[in-house]
Amino acid sequence: MAETLRRLRSWLVVLGAALLLPVSGISAASAQPTTDSGVSPMIVGGTRASTSQYPWVVYLATSSGSQYCGGTLVAPNKVVTAAHCTVGDSASAVRVVAGRDDKNSTAGVVARVNKIWIHPSYRTATQGYDVSVLTLDRNLNYATLPFATSADTGLYAAGTSATILGWGTTSSGGSASRYLLKASVPVVSSTSCTSSYGTSYKSAHMVCAGYTQGGTDTCQGDSGGPLVAGGKLIGITSWGQGCASAGYPGVYARVSAYATEIQAQINA
């Protein structure tokens, strides 16, 4: 099943990240209890949010309606998501759901996809270029979100408060959220993210966000969804070591690095 493959793909991203880390007895093992000890599970460490307030956040679902990734409406018929969410898929198999906070409801609209663009340099999430643009079969009547360009370097300054949104799992390896959740996380400096992830973190293509102590993060199923700062899409949820682990922030595709290509897809 396509769905199983998608789940496997998410896990491979996690596993891939884990394998690239130095496994010196304590690092990966000691990160685990931190993840499991979280008391307020949502996104991880988040709260309920509404698509009335965030009309441009959407989710990707299978033809049977199963949510597996997030996305952002950047033009009436264009959705930015992660390449690892769409790679290998045929457009006819993907649904984009807008305006639906509760996955168990029928609120909002379900659009079909006419075209999937995947960054031509994409290979795996940890190698960068984890960007995909979907062309929908119709214009959606929801507000769009502007995306960061090369003029927006200020939004990537360490400590900038950013919003994460999604319907993904509320703990690493846990179950997905029924409702849209949100949380705030600070942008992490590239120096600090390199300390966490070594050469798997590529500063030109990625940006990290999260608290040093962990506790708040995107997680499996949030991929493709937005990292928002200054009213703009600055990142696309991509990968991380576990979720919400101390010392391991979430890693996002750096949208400003792909602005020209995203704009070209909007104009296409």
Q: Is 48 helix (H, G, I), strand (E, B) or coil?
A: strand
Closest residue by beta carbon to ligand ARG: 240
What the block records as the tokens of 218 is: 């995107």
Query: Which range in 32-40, 73-81, 106-114, 212-220 contacts ligand ARG by CB under 6 A?
Result: 212-220
Strands 47-48 and 78-81: unpaired
Which residue(s) pair with 226 in the sheet?
A: 236
Any contact of residue 130 with ligand ARG (CB under 6 A)?
Answer: no
The Cα–Cα gap between 195 and 241 comes to: 13
Single residue of 35, 77, 126, 223 touching ligand ARG by CB under 6 A: 223
Any contact of residue 237 with ligand ARG (CB under 6 A)?
Answer: yes
The Cα–Cα gap between 243 and 211 comes to: 12
- The distance of closest approach from Cβ of residue 66 to ligand ARG in the complex, given in angstroms and rounded to an integer, is 14
What the block records as the tokens of 72 is: 């952002």
Beta carbon nearer to ligand ARG, 89 or 222: 222
- The distance of closest approach from Cβ of residue 151 to ligand ARG in the complex, given in angstroms and rounded to an integer, is 27
Give the dihedral of Cα atoms 202, 15, 124, 174; nearest 10 deg.
-100
Any contact of residue 217 with ligand ARG (CB under 6 A)?
Answer: yes
Using CB under 6 A, count the residues that bind ligand ARG: 15
Tell me whether residue 223 is one of the annotated catalytic residues. Answer: yes
Any contact of residue 250 with ligand ARG (CB under 6 A)?
Answer: yes
Backbone phi, then psi, for 250, in 5-degree steps? -70, 150
What the block records as the tokens of 143 is: 């507000």
* Interacting residues toward ligand ARG by CB under 6 A: 10, 13, 168, 217-223, 237, 239-240, 243, 250
Q: Which residues are catalytic?
A: 84, 130, 223
